[in-house]
Structure 1
Amino acid sequence: MVLPRNSNRTRMDPEKTKVMEKEETLRKVQRYGSINGSSTSDSCPTCQGTGRIPRGQQDQLLAVIPCNDVRLQPRRTKLYVCISMAVCLLLCCLILFFFFPRSVTLTPVSVLSVMVYFRPDSVDMEVTNLINMTNENFVPVQIVEFTMQGLLAQTVVGHTKLSNLTAIQSRSRQPYIVQIDLPIKDQGLNTYCKSSSFKIHTLFLQLQMTMNISYLSHTEQISQEVFEYIDCGNNSTTPHPVR
């Protein structure tokens, strides 16, 4: 009886084969915590040196990355920081330029008319003035209140208050017509205005104007004082500019 040529070799157990392959893989894989394989430490407890992690534990494990890894050294960092600083500086400058408070001016322009009414014991006048209000801001300005009082010889003879004026739009000039009543009860001024011996009855009227405005969440008060001449003898005062 003839035996087969390879009958003297025993078939190798599959489990032994798997163990040998695993040991061979462990010899080729670097030790846990080692970069160049020279460290004498234990095998990676997570993947057992196989390079694979158990399924379902991806969100529970941490990766060890060397300090010289290129992923820890982003490119053009200084450029991005400089660009961010430049953009922030530009935005700050724009905000300061457009929202920095600017002046709001009150300018008397001219005397439009003077109406004179003779009473037995007084002379009543209605003086109408044209006033310009200029807004240099980039936001509208709301007029809260406007007051005007007239003085003759340092004596207050009339007063008016307006609170329903429209807002002044940004970077614009708005004209307003303001009328003030001036009853003159002084005996000497009454005699002077009613006298027929004088051809011209000129009075120098002092107007004190105050305007309260609101813009950019704060209030401000503007004052202006002007002198103008009027005729108290009759309705002969013609429109003329205020100097």
Structure 2
Amino acid sequence: MDTPGHSSKMTEVPDLTRATEKVKTLKHFPPYGSINGHSTGDTCPTCRGTGRIPRGHEDQLVAVIPCNDVRLKPRRTKLYVCVSMALCLLVCCLILFFLFPRSVTLTPVSVLSVMVYFTPDTVDMEVTNLINITNENFVPVQIAEFSIQSLVTDIVVGKTKISNMTAIQSRSQKSYTIKIDLPITDKGLNSYCKSGSIKIHTLFLELQMTMNISYLSHMEQLSLNTFEYIDCGTNSTIPHPVR
């Protein structure tokens, strides 16, 4: 029959064995929330403080990173964030600067010549004008169509449409010579232009210009009205600027 003292010794031996195994386990597997093995926190909820993963629970793992891990505190974080924001802002500003639509202007320059042909019933004139088209954009501009309507005393005397004009390169200006045919059939204007008693046969010609252009994937229409004077009596009109 065992004595009471002998029973207490037998109970202490398993306790010492368990304590020794726990110390060995903590040396290889630090407790939850510690990287040096000394912690007063809770045990790991995945391995339950044993340092081993139960079989069949591999897909239920929980990644635990200590709060004092240096990976959670990267160096120069604010500097990297500020530099990234500055680069994004710079790229956006450059895109807006180069792709922002700018003006395309149509400017009449001068009347180069006026050729007058008399027929029994009409006065046929061929007016040659010089115009400039300026492109302020950083992309080429395509000219889809260019049309001119000519009026004398609010009467339409001629229409001209040009559809084979070349593109205008970025940040450039291009000059075009436009020929306008003006057959005047009005009897009053015919008599005025053919009269020999009148020394000056000046007509004030109104030009209504319309140009359809395309750039940056959109269409745009430019309109311009200008006035110029021509001599319908003889071929005496000399080149002069449009005012």
- TM-score, length basis structure 2: 0.81
Q: Does 2:24 match 1:25?
A: yes
Q: CA deviation at 1:29?
A: 5.1
Structure 1 range deviating more: 64-73 or 31-40: 31-40
Q: Which residue of 2 aligns with 1:109?
A: 109
Secondary structure of 2:137's aligned partner: coil
Determine the C-alpha separation between the residues in 2 that align with 1:206 and 1:65: 82
Secondary structure of 1:97's aligned partner: helix
Change (3 A) 1:30 1:182: closer
Q: Which residue of 2 aligns with 1:69?
A: 69
Determine the C-alpha separation between the residues in 2 that align with 1:67 and 1:82: 25
Give the length in aligned residue pairs. Answer: 220
Task: Tell whether the 8 Å contact from 2:206 to 2:225 is kept in structure 1 after alignment.
Answer: yes
Deviations 1:99-134 (A, max 9, x none): 110000000000011010101111000000000000
Task: Tell whether the 8 Å contact from 2:231 to 2:237 is kept in structure 1 after alignment.
Answer: yes
Task: Tell whether the 8 Å contact from 2:158 to 2:181 is kept in structure 1 after alignment.
Answer: yes
Task: Tell whether the 8 Å contact from 2:33 to 2:67 is kept in structure 1 after alignment.
Answer: no
Task: Tell whether the 8 Å contact from 1:129 to 1:177 is kept in structure 2 after alignment.
Answer: yes
Task: Tell whether the 8 Å contact from 1:125 to 1:232 is kept in structure 2 after alignment.
Answer: yes
Task: Tell whether the 8 Å contact from 2:33 to 2:66 is kept in structure 1 after alignment.
Answer: no
Q: Does 2:149 match 1:160?
A: no
Q: Does 2:188 match 1:188?
A: yes
Change (3 A) 1:30 1:178: closer
Determine the C-alpha separation between the residues in 2 that align with 1:128 and 1:27: 100
Q: CA deviation at 1:64?
A: 3.3
Root-mean-square deviation over aligned CA pairs: 2.9
Deviations 1:72-100 (A, max 9, x none): 11111111111111001111111111111
Secondary structure of 2:109's aligned partner: strand
Determine the C-alpha separation between the residues in 2 that align with 1:169 and 1:129: 22
Structure 1 range deviating more: 23-32 or 180-189: 23-32
Task: Tell whether the 8 Å contact from 1:108 to 1:130 is kept in structure 2 after alignment.
Answer: yes
Secondary structure of 1:151's aligned partner: strand
Q: Does 2:229 match 1:229?
A: yes
| Counterpart amino acid of residue 94 in structure 1 | L
- TM-score, length basis structure 1: 0.81
Q: Which residue of 1 aligns with 2:197?
A: 197
Q: Which residue of 2 aligns with 1:10?
A: none
Change (3 A) 1:34 1:66: closer
Secondary structure of 1:128's aligned partner: strand
Q: CA deviation at 1:199?
A: 1.5
Task: Tell whether the 8 Å contact from 1:206 to 1:226 is kept in structure 2 after alignment.
Answer: yes
| Counterpart amino acid of residue 92 in structure 1 | C
| Counterpart amino acid of residue 136 in structure 1 | E
